[in-house]
């Protein structure tokens, strides 16, 4: 078999610069809370590796007069902000490649109470700014210019100000408008706080070679920078009662003080060891975190150190409403009184706490590096909020209810998102997925209208109704189930990677297992155009086929190397992903002949494959953070967009777009060149029988138009326009247009008069 060369188009990458000005702030899309899943207290079983970046440079500490750099007004970029992470790429001429992102809470870093009574936090993982109310309702904002957000603080102007690790300072208003300020003197800022002079003060780690410094930015964007040899790895910063700013020198093992005029003083003491977080205490002293203790320094420079066996790598500290200091502490939350009495609060739900702040509700709120925001009362009662429906989402599928459903590996739950972005989350005892080298448990819409998914660690197949009721089906023959698909016989078929068998379960729960020579670590499974089930044998480098009566055939070929995902192609063949040695996409006919193998660029590693509405196959590329498309002739296109981070699974949605999971805690959507879209309609109101012109894209194959669900009479159809009449019995609501590719719904409602 000869390999066919691939054709790769240049990926679209948006670029930004200080000369580009944006000033567009659409209305916020807030995630669903309460009964629909957002803000529900959850638990998780996995702590991801990594964490926030620390200062990277080392420098000697010497006493010298400070140098002063006065900057001009920083270059400001007003960025388009899209609530709930709708980061949209401009489409190409065909209409393909428009990306929308719906991020969750991802590696939250800083947190602060806002002037609007909510808590605001930075999502370092997916580069967004989050907002959570005291009742747990979460909204995420993302936009160009939010890059590596770290610390955040409430500014004197009512906005929130945050440090971007990419050498800029950001500002976000309570309504979600974002500005980003860049200046040559800003070098990997860390902590940020409001000074007594009404400006924002921040620490610069100097990772880019600009040197350690303390920065100042006015609310109008004028930047100043102050340097001194004693400033060495500055991290946390806080305003003192003396009108000066106090900061922790992580590498200098000292506490620094800088006046609003820029005069620097450095305090050293043998007990100060790798200080990080710092805050003003209720006793008028500054309290800070050492590597293994809590420190206190008065405004005259007297230092005290408080130790206790339960203090374990404290990171951040804040004054509580009870007159004590609260700090994040390893896998617990600590409390220390001004007299030095230490108490710790532990829970299996506290994973890796980061920044901490006092909330407007009298509780302490803190970030957790495992995709959550948590709250602890002064009595020690803990709540944990995962956010809008996603927690390390893995597999994805379109439900018969028109929504998209995902498996959440991070907290063992099932998530749901509508095509308009409304999210829900469902939990039940015993839901246990698997990433296993990023081979997540699969989910599929069943013929009974429910969703069925493989429960890897529980050796079971589960069913969840669209109302959220979960049923578990276990059987001794089920062992490490992976892929799952609906068969031509109306049953669910799945791979048992742990027992080298293929399983079958009816919608009534009857289970059968089929074994056969050559079945070896089966993973992906798909329904072929011949009515049989086709599966990948990852370990034996073969492709398997099983009829609905259980007859097994095994096929091999030069282009089969560690196959994983498999999907039925629009050409009647089966397409599969090879993951061993050099990643590639292969093709096998229903006669068992491997006819093509298309190499992927080195490093590209797709995990899932699905047929799109445009007669091509689509895949997520985890390694290169892109979405790929391969035509049936082997031409490959990659779509890159800011914010696509760790795409794993991909599925065709009811709206004619492709939906994919992001391992950094989000869901993405990408259009094809046939995805329908409504851009407007005229008139915007009218009585029954009124003729309405609907404008949009890819509408030529329209088969149905509804007004608030009521079918309308179609008068004419073209690629960009559909004319219909308001139906009898129609009520005010959104207009929906259904084409052969999918259904699109208007953003605005039509009013029936």
pLDDT for the residue 433:
60
Looking at per-residue confidence, does 744 or 10 come out higher?
Answer: 744
The length of the chain in residues reads 753
Quick one: average pLDDT of 535-543?
A: 96
Q: Which DSSP symbol is given to 36? A: G
pLDDT for the residue 211:
63
pLDDT for the residue 567:
97
Looking at per-residue confidence, does 38 or 216 come out higher?
Answer: 216
- Euclidean distance between CA atoms 358 and 327, whole angstroms: 11
- Euclidean distance between CA atoms 154 and 173, whole angstroms: 10
Residue 632 reports pLDDT greater than 90: yes
Tokens 């936009």 identify what position? 143
Last residue of a domain, one of 335, 358, 385: 385
What does the pLDDT look like over 191-214, one tens digit per residue?
999 999 999 999 998 765 556 999
Q: pLDDT category, 721, cuts 50, 70, 90? A: very high
- Determine the structural domain holding residue 330 and report its residue range: 65-385
Last residue of a domain, one of 368, 385, 402: 385
Residue 666 reports pLDDT greater than 70: yes
Predicted TM-score (pTM) of this structure? 0.75
Domain assignment present for 540: no
Residue 743 reports pLDDT greater than 90: yes
Mean pLDDT lowest for which of 38-47, 309-318, 568-577? 38-47
| 18-32 burial code (b ≥16 CB/10 A, e <16) | eeeebeebeeebbbb
Domain assignment present for 6: no
Domain assignment present for 607: no
pLDDT for the residue 602:
61
User: Which residues are 400's β-sheet partners?
Assistant: none
Residue 93 reports pLDDT greater than 90: no
Q: pLDDT category, 64, cuts 50, 70, 90? A: very low
Looking at per-residue confidence, does 226 or 175 come out higher?
Answer: 226
Domain assignment present for 698: yes
Domain assignment present for 184: yes
Domain assignment present for 482: no
In sequence order, the 6+-apart residues with CB closer than 8 A to the CB of 317 are 277, 278, 279, 287, 288, 289, 294, 325, 326, 327, 328, 356
CATH of the domain at 713: 2.60.40.10
Mean pLDDT lowest for which of 42-51, 156-165, 340-349, 663-672? 42-51
Domain assignment present for 294: yes
CATH of the domain at 199: 2.130.10.10
Domain assignment present for 163: yes
Q: How many structural domains does the chain have?
A: 2
In sequence order, the 6+-apart residues with CB closer than 8 A to the CB of 180 are 76, 77, 78, 79, 145, 146, 164, 168, 169, 170, 171
Given a contact cutoff of 8 angstroms between Cβ atoms, the answer to whether 647 and 660 are in contact is yes
Residue 440 reports pLDDT greater than 70: no
pLDDT for the residue 431:
63
pLDDT for the residue 616:
97
Last residue of a domain, one of 351, 385, 419: 385
- Euclidean distance between CA atoms 682 and 750, whole angstroms: 9
């Amino acid at each position: 078999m000869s390999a066919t060369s691939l054709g790769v188009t240049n990926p679209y990458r948006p670029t930004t610069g200080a000369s580009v000005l944006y000033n567009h702030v659409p209305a916020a899309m807030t995630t669903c809370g309460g009964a629909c899943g957002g803000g529900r207290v959850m638990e998780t079983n996995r702590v991801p590796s990594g964490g926030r970046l620390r200062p990277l440079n080392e420098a000697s500490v010497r006493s010298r007069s400070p140098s002063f750099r006065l900057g001009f007004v920083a270059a400001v970029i007003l960025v388009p902000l899209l609530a709930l992470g709708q980061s949209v790429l401009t489409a190409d001429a065909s209409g393909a490649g428009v990306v929308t992102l719906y991020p969750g809470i991802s590696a939250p870093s800083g947190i602060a109470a806002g002037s609007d009574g909510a808590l605001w936090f930075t999502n370092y993982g997916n580069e967004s700014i989050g907002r959570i109310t005291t009742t747990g309702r979460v909204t995420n904002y993302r936009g160009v210019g939010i890059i590596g957000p770290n610390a955040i603080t409430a500014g004197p102007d009512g906005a929130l100000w945050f440090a971007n690790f990419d050498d800029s300072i950001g500002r976000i208003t309570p309504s979600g408008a974002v500005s980003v300020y860049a200046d040559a003197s800003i070098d990997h800022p860390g902590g940020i706080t409001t000074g007594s002079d009404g400006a924002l003060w921040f620490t610069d780690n100097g990772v880019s070679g600009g040197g350690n410094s303390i920065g100042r930015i006015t609310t109008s964007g004028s930047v100043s920078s102050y340097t001194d040899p004693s400033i060495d790895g500055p991290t946390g910063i806080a305003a003192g009662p003396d009108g000066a700013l106090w900061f922790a020198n992580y590498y200098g093992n000292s506490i620094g003080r800088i006046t609003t005029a820029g005069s620097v003083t450095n305090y050293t003491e043998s007990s100060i060891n790798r200080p990080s977080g710092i805050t003003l205490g209720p006793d008028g002293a500054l309290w800070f975190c050492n590597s293994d203790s809590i420190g206190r320094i008065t405004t005259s420079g007297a230092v005290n150190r408080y130790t206790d066996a339960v203090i374990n790598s404290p990171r951040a500290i804040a004054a509580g409403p009870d007159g004590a200091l609260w700090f994040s502490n390893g896998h617990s939350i600590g409390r220390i009184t001004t007299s030095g009495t230490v108490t710790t609060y532990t829970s299996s739900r506290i994973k890796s706490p980061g920044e901490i702040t006092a909330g407007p509700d009298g509780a302490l709120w803190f970030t957790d590096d495992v995709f959550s925001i948590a709250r602890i009362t002064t009595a020690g009662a803990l709540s944990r909020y995962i956010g809008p429906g996603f927690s390390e989402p893995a597999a994805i599928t379109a439900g018969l209810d028109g929504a998209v459903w995902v498996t959440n590996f991070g907290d063992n739950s099932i998530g749901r998102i509508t095509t308009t972005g409304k999210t829900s989350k469902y939990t039940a005892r015993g839901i246990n997925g698997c990433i296993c080298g990023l081979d997540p448990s699969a989910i599929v819409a069943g013929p009974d209208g429910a969703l069925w998914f493989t429960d890897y660690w529980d050796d079971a197949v589960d069913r969840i109704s669209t109302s959220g009721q979960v049923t578990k089906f276990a059987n001794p023959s089920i062992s490490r189930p992976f892929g799952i698909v609906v068969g031509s016989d109306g049953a669910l078929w799945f791979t048992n990677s742990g027992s080298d068998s293929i399983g079958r379960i009816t919608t009534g729960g009857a289970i059968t297992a089929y074994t056969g020579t050559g079945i070896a670590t089966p993973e992906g499974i798909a329904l072929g155009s011949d009515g049989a089930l086709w599966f990948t044998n990852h370990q034996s480098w073969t492709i398997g086929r099983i009829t609905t009566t259980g007859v097994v055939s095994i096929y091999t070929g030069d282009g089969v190397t560690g196959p994983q995902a498999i999907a039925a192609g629009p050409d009647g063949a089966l397409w599969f992903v090879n993951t061993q040695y050099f990643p590639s996409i292969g093709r096998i006919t229903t006669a068992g002949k491997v006819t093509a193998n298309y190499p992927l660029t080195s490093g590209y590693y797709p995990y899932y494959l699905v047929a799109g509405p445009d007669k091509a196959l689509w895949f997520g590329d985890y390694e290169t953070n892109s979405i790929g498309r391969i035509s049936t002739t082997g031409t490959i296109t990659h779509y890159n967009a800011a914010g696509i981070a760790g795409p794993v699974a991909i599925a065709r949605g009811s709206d004619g777009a492709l939906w994919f999971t992001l391992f950094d805690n989000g869901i993405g959507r990408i259009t094809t060149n046939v995805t329908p879209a409504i851009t407007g309609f005229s008139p915007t109101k009218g009585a029954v029988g009124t003729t309405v012109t609907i404008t949009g894209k890819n509408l030529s194959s329209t088969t149905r138009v509804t007004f608030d669900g009521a079918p309308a009479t179609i008068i004419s159809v073209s690629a960009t326009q559909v004319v219909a009449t308001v139906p009898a019995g129609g009520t005010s609501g959104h207009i929906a247009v259904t084409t052969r590719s999918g259904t699109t719904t208007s953003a605005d409602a039509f009013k029936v008069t």
